[in-house]
Every structure is written in C-alpha cells, then in structure tokens.
A and B are shown apart, each in its own frame.
Chain A
Amino acid sequence: MKKIVNIEEAQNKEFKSTIVKIKLGLGHLDENSKVFNPDLSMIQAKIAEQRELAERKWRRDIKLFCLIAAVILSVMLIALYQNPIVFAAVQGISAACFIAVTFFKYIKQKVKET
C-alpha cells in the first residue's frame, strides 16, 4: 500500500514539474510577444465597417428569403388547384421529414448527454 502511495506521489511531482515547465515556456512567450493596443478610433472604424457589412448581409438574406418563400408559395398554390393529390403528398412528405429530423436531433442530444 505504501509503495502505491509513493508511486502516485512521484507521478504527481513529475506532473507538477511538467506544468511548471509549461507555465514558464508560455510566460516567456508572453513576455517576448509585443502586442500594442489599437487606437480607439481605429476600433470604432472597424465596428462601423462591421455594422455596414452586417446590414448588407441582412438585406441580402431578407431578399433571398422573400424570393424562396414566393417560389414555394406559388408552387404549392398551383399544386393545390391543379393537382390536389400532389399537394397532399408534398404535405405528407414534409411532415414525415420534420418528425424524422426532430427525432434524430433528440437522439443526438441524448447521446451527447450520456
């Protein structure tokens, strides 16, 4: 029993010395890396640039969403009035896909938790 404790103690000591080496190495890297704080006005300019980019992206996404929604809605309405069987089939497939995806996500979450 005593021997086991000694081996554990020795291993802990060895680990501690490695951690000290890692800390020293990273500390030296920190000391030798010269990083200058950017000017406040420069950060503000970058923020303004980011905001503009985000707004452009949002506008593009909204346009794309409207276009896709219009296409889907048109196809569905045409199917409903011209061929109700196809319309019912599309509805059924969509519902089945939704259930399958939700079930798959639930299982994945459970596996992750365990």
Chain B
Amino acid sequence: MEEKRLIESAKRGDDLAFALLFQDSYQLLVKYLIKVTFSYETAEDLAQETMARALEKIQFYNGSSKFSTWLISIATNLFIDMTRKQKRENRYKEQEQSIRKLKWQLQTSDEDWIDTIEALGKLTEEIRIPIILKHYYGYSYAEIGKMLDIAEGTVKSRVHNGIIAVRKELRLDEEDSKHRRSTK
C-alpha cells in the first residue's frame, strides 16, 4: 500500500518519494547485480545507471510487478547492453578477473560454494541470468521472459542447458555415475 502511494507520488515528480523507493530496493538490487556481474564495482555503477534510467522511465511503470522487480529488469537489460558492447574474448577475461578479485575480497578460496560460483561464471550472461532469476529469486519462466524480452520456451531451454553446463563444470555427472555404480 505504502509502495503504491510512493509510486504515485514519484510519477507526479516527487523526488523524495522516488528516493525512498530506490533506497528501499537498493540492497536487493546491488546484491542481485553482484551475483550477475561478480564485481562489487560494476554492480554499484550499474545500480546508479539503473536509478537514472528508472527516473527517466517512471511514467511508463504500470505497477503490475513490484518496484524492485522493475528495477531488476532495467538493471538486467543495462548489463546485457553493456556486455554486448564488449568483445567476447575480453568479456571472458574480465569475468575471470572479476571472480578472482571476488574470491580475494571474500577471502575464500578453498570453500565448496566458490566452485559453484566459478561454474556459474563460466556461463554466458544469457544463460546465467535466467538461472539466477529462476532458482534464486523464484521468478516464473513467464516473468523472466517478460524481463528479458524473450519467449518463455527460450527461458526454459536456457535454464535447462545452463544446469547441464554447471553439472559438467562441477563434474557432478561423474560423481553421480560413480555413486550409482557403487550402490548397484
């Protein structure tokens, strides 16, 4: 109810209402962007760009989704545009560097979960983003399709292929087949 009131005020040009809305979603937005970019700096820069874009487009926000979901959708598209401008090779190098830096910042190198993060980092953005949105944030395939402007079926196949790729990277298939053989 409070959010709706603030959105209406923001649409009328009330900057304080917009600031309150943005402040409320800031942590969620930056944490989402860290998962997508694996870089604190890029996440914060993108959050600022998202704010500028949201301010520009607030008139077109129809309120059918939560304000934070709308911000996530804007941020995702800004990130995809940003990566499209980079060359593929440079992108992979930067991605690897970002993960190495993240590991150093988190001061962990031997923990199991970092392997999963590295495996996710090896996926392309087109595959990684739907997996994060679906399996971490719990958005439906239809919602993700709307956010990324792709068909629902495409989202499903990207998530499916992404999980297969993560399994391969973590060598889970080998582990499972060993486990199956030992239980026979």
Q: Chain A: residues with CB nearer than 8 A to chain B?
A: 10, 14-15, 17-19, 21-30, 32-33, 35, 37-38, 40, 43-44, 46-48, 50-51, 53-54
Contact = CB atoms under 8 A, between A and B. Distances in A.
Contact of A51 (B55, B106, B111, B131): B55
A14 to B, nearest CB: 5
Contact of B55 (A27, A29, A32, A47): A47
Nearest to B118: A25
Interface of B: 15-16, 18-20, 22-23, 26-27, 30-31, 34-35, 40, 48, 51-52, 55-56, 106, 108, 111, 113-117, 120, 131-132, 135-136, 163, 166-167, 170, 172-173, 176, 180
A10 B179 CA distance: 12
Contact of B48 (A25, A30, A46): A46
Contacts of B173: 14
Contacts of A27: 136
A51 to B, nearest CB: 7
Nearest to A33: B34
A38 B26 CA distance: 8
18 contacts: A15-B167, A22-B163, A23-B136, A25-B116, A25-B117, A25-B120, A26-B35, A29-B35, A29-B117, A33-B34, A35-B27, A38-B23, A38-B26, A43-B19, A43-B23, A47-B19, A50-B51, A53-B52
Closest 3 pairs between A and B when the two form their complex, measured CB to CB = A25-B116, A43-B19, A28-B113
Contacts of A26: 35, 116-117, 120, 132, 136
B31 A43 contact: no
Contacts of A25: 113-117, 120
Contacts of A24: 113, 116
Given A14-B173, A51-B15, 18 more contacts: A18-B166, A18-B167, A18-B170, A21-B116, A22-B163, A24-B113, A25-B115, A26-B120, A30-B31, A32-B106, A33-B40, A35-B31, A40-B23, A44-B16, A47-B18, A47-B51, A53-B52, A54-B56
B26 A22 contact: no
